[in-house]
Amino acid sequence: MRAPSNLSRGSLGFNMTPMIDVVFLLIIFFLVSSHLARQETQLELDLPEASTGEATREDDARRVVVNVLPDERPDERIQVGGRRIAPGQLTELIRYESSQADGRLEVRIRSDRRVPYRSIEPILLACQRGGVWNVTFAVVSAP
């Protein structure tokens, strides 16, 4: 019987295919998530003007953007993540997001200037019930 020799085998190498697959999946994930984040703030709203205030600095804090639309039906004005929700659902959403962010959640309210305050108040109450203190309003600086 002949003993096998190691010379006939090829050199050992790493299989890079799984790593390349994972890297491509991560790239696709971050491209899609950044696109959705930009889409949330690009919703056409006639924001109110502010004569005072400061520009927010973008950080990596967890953020929920609540858009308030100028619709006729007050129960369908609130939009989060591209879908319309009721004020009661907003409270549950903020509680959940706050628990995921270890209490460091920012809620950014983007409202049309024609929306009355009675439509903004339930959002502020939902933030209070969810334990969120960091609430900002998106405005346009006055010329």
Read off the pLDDT of residues 34-78 as tens digits, 9 standing for 90 and up: 766 665 555 666 666 666 666 666 666 788 888 888 876 666 778
Which of 4-18, 31-45, 59-73, 78-92 is most confident? 78-92
- pLDDT > 70? residue 90: yes
74 or 100, greater pLDDT = 100
Return the SS3 of 54.
coil
pTM attached to this predicted model: 0.63
Strand 62-68 to 78-80 pairing:
antiparallel
Residue 79: predicted pLDDT: 82
CATH architecture for residues 45-53+61-141: 2-Layer Sandwich (3.30)
CB-based burial label for 49 (10 Å; 0-12, 13-18, 19+)? exposed
Contact (Cβ atoms closer than 8 angstroms) between residue 77 and residue 71: yes
Average pLDDT, the chain: 78
At 27, the pLDDT band (50, 70, 90 cuts) reads very high
